[in-house]
Structures are given as structure tokens and as C-alpha cells.
Amino acid sequence: MNDNFLAVDVANLEAEIHGLFEAFPELAEDEQLRADMLEGSTAAFDVLTRLVSIERDADSMAKAVAGRVAELQARKARADKRKDAMRTLMLRIMKAAGIKKAPLVEATVSVSKGRDSVEVTDETALPKKFVKVTTSPDKTAIKAAFDAGKKVRGAELKTGGETLTVRVA
């Protein structure tokens, strides 16, 4: 089912539930009566059932895609390793033949001088202007301090939004 139709169903259901609460104010006090009325007088449980089904399908798909991504990453790593091995073999042939360039039908293979790169031999000996320092808040330690009743300047405890738990039978 199209997610737009579900959003409309939910919006209509919210209006229907709001109307039910206005017509029967006693529903606010009695959770069991409220659940019974919602089940008997609205499509709330049917819509929830459809939403759970779609959510479960999406969860299964996400897990399957994650598994496939892991498989493809491993396959990519193998392909990269094979590519590097082929390049090493080509370089060996070119060096053995003493040639810098080999024009082929499919490609031109060339040997070029290596590029300069920096190799740090002792990080502690580097002048400060050549060192990059990254700092970030230790949220675990900050949370532990809050839990211990301490105040932390520059941070505050924030309660997240409500969460939904779906337990599948």
C-alpha cells in the first residue's frame, strides 16, 4: 500500500479518535474502556496491524540489504586485491622488458616515476604547526557525571522524544 494513503488513513484516524474523546470524555480516565472503544468504534487496530506488517517488511528488507552490502563489500575487497595484483604483474613485465609505455588495443600501459609522499617517523618530534589535534566531548563521561548528580558546565541533560517498541509474536 502506498505510504501516502497510510498517512491519510492515520490523519483520518487521529481526527476520528479526537472526536471520540470529545463525545466520551470518560475515555480519558479508563484505559481499558478507551482500548475497547478504539477497537470497536474505529479502524485503529486494523491500521496498526497494517503498519506493523509494513514496518516488519521494511525491517526485513533493511537487514537483507545490510547483509548484501556486507557481501558486496567483501567482493569489492577481493576485486581490489585482484586489480592490485594484476597491476603488480604488469609493472614487473614492463620493468623486465625495460619499456616505459606499451600501447595495446584495449589500453595503453605506462610506467611513471613514483610521487612524493610524507612519512612521519616520530610524531612527538613534529613542531605544533604540523600537528592536527581533534577534540570531541566525551558524552559517556558527561552522562555518568549527570547520573551521579553532578553539573557539567557547557552540557545539559536532554530527554529524547517518545519511542515505539514493536514486539512481534
pLDDT digits (tens, 9 = 90+) for 13-72: 999 999 999 999 999 899 999 999 999 999 899 999 999 999 999 999 999 999 999 999
The three-class DSSP label of residue 102 is strand
Q: How far is CA 91 from CA 84, 95, 108, 113, in A?
A: 11, 6, 13, 12
Residue 129 has pLDDT above 90, yes or no: yes
Q: How far is CA 42 from CA 14, 15, 17, 61, in A?
A: 10, 11, 8, 30
Q: Please, what's the largest Cα pairwise distance for the chain?
A: 93
Tens-place pLDDT, residues 153-162: 999 999 999 9
- Per-chain mean pLDDT for the chain: 93
Residue 6 has pLDDT above 90, yes or no: no
Q: Return the C-alpha cell found at 143.
A: 552522562
pTM: 0.63
Give the containing element (helix H, strand E) for 108.
strand 108-110
